[in-house]
Every structure is written in structure tokens, then in C-alpha cells.
Copies of this chain bind each other. A is one copy, B any other.
Amino acid sequence: MKMQNFKLTLCYDGRRYHGWQKQGNTGNTIQAKIESLLSRILAQDIEVAGSGRTDAGVHARAQVCSFRAETSLSPEQLLNLIRRYLPDDIGALSLEYAEPRFHARLSCKEKTYVYRIWNSTSPNVFERGYTYTMSEPLNVPEMEKAAALIIGRHDFSAFCSNRHMKKSAVRELRSIDFTQNGNVLEIALTGNGFLYNMVRIIVGSLIEVGLGKRSADSLKQALLSMDRANSGPTAPAQGLFLWSLSY
């Protein structure tokens, strides 16, 4: 049997989990779930690398991970086994052979996150697990104006929760798009990478703009200050989806 490199694409409902990344032997995380499942199916120790972490409660419409395994199972056979044993809040979308050097995090070129806001006084019963509920109306054109001021290649320290980051905080935020779907406002952020809590802090700041609590310009000022104290609150996890990845 030859050592193979695999690319596995998952989706998950984040509500029951303490995020993607395993935490020693504690915590119910997606990564730990997938590693223990693959290790049992393949009867060998499997380590998976995700495209990046998702926080506790954050969902994934698509999360990619890579792993190496010695197996004579075809990707199709292995995918069927994985699907048979996954809990119903984690789905395996696809499994394929990957180039030997493929790595889910290091090979990732672009990520899109979508933040979903139920923006209505109408009750939010069926979308309540997958949206953040806000009954106050949001001024979306002002939010779009603010968003346009922070896209581009910048040091995003002001939009990062990790105060002691030693690595570069420069990222390229390529677009922020707004789509209204019935009562749901979807904010899609695409970039070459995101800092810890960056999407949720940008969205929390945009929401303050939408509520008239701060000006669109203040987001540009916060960005330039590189100081977390000048940006808005971290928006709640339940509205956030890791949406798509480019390799």
C-alpha cells in the first residue's frame, strides 16, 4: 500500500462544537472528531490539517482538510465509510487524491466567509441557528461605504483579537459584498487570509455603522490606528459561515 495524500471537503453545523481545532484531549472539536474517525476507519494514526480554524459555534458550508494515509481504499470507498459514521451535523462533501505537496492551510489561496444577519422584527424561527438576529433596521448603503474604505492590502491589527501576535498582521481583503435575501442580510468577505476574529470584528464594526452608532470614516481611522480599541465589538459566532476556499 502506498502513502496517499487526500483532500477532504466538509460542511458542519458549528453549534455543538468547540470550533475546528483540537485542544489536547479536551473539547469537542471537529478536527478531533475527524481524526478519530479516520484513525478508526483506516486503522492508523491520522492527523488532518484544516484550511484554518473556525471558532466555537461557527459553521462551515465548506471546510477543506488534508491528510496522509496508507490505504488501498479508493477515495469513493473511503468517502462512503466516512459518511456512514459522521454525526448528522457534519457532512463529507467530497474526497479526492491530492498532489503530494498539497496542504489544506499552506496551499489555500483565497477564503470567503459569509456573515448572516436576520434583520427584521419578524420572528426568526427556522433560521435561528444560522443567523444573528437583529430587529433594528440597518443602513446597508452606509455599511457598503464603510466596507469600501477598508478593503485592500493592510495591516489589520485593529481587527484582530490576538493582542500578542508576533507574525505579520498584513492581509489582503479583496471584497466585502452585501446581499439581501428576504429578511436575511448576507455579508461576504473574501481575502487571502484572515486574522483571529477578524471577520467577526469587521462585521461588528459594520453593524455599528449600519445602526448609526459610528461613521463609515471611523472604520478607516480604526484600520490606520492599528489599535483594537478603535474598532467595534466581535459579532456573535452563530451568524458566521466559512463559505468557500480557493486552491
Which residues from chain A sit less than 8 Å from chain B, CB to CB? 11-13, 59, 61, 83, 86, 88-93, 122-126, 128, 130
Contacts and interface: CB of A to CB of B under 8 A. Distances in A.
Given A11-B123, A91-B124, 13 more contacts: A11-B125, A11-B126, A13-B125, A59-B126, A61-B126, A83-B123, A90-B125, A91-B122, A91-B123, A91-B125, A93-B122, A93-B123, A126-B130
A125 B124 CA distance: 19
B126 A88 contact: no
A13 B91 contact: no
Nearest to A80: B121
From A61, A92, A122, residue with most partner B Cβ within 10 Å: A122
Contact of A12 (B61, B86, B125): B125
Copies in the complex: 2
A37 to B, nearest CB: 14
A187 to B, nearest CB: 18
A128 B88 contact: yes
24 contacts: A11-B123, A11-B125, A11-B126, A12-B125, A13-B125, A13-B126, A59-B126, A61-B126, A86-B123, A88-B124, A88-B125, A88-B128, A89-B125, A89-B128, A90-B123, A90-B125, A91-B122, A91-B123, A91-B124, A91-B125, A92-B123, A93-B122, A93-B123, A126-B130
A86 B124 CA distance: 12
Contacts of A59: 126
A126 B125 CA distance: 14
A95 to B, nearest CB: 12
A59 B93 CA distance: 28
Nearest to A59: B126
Nearest to A92: B123
Q: Which 8 interchain pairs have the tightest Cβ spacing? A: A91-B123, A91-B125, A11-B125, A13-B125, A88-B128, A89-B125, A92-B123, A126-B130
A90 B126 CA distance: 9
A11 B124 CA distance: 9
Contacts of A90: 123, 125
A8 to B, nearest CB: 12
A122 B11 CA distance: 10
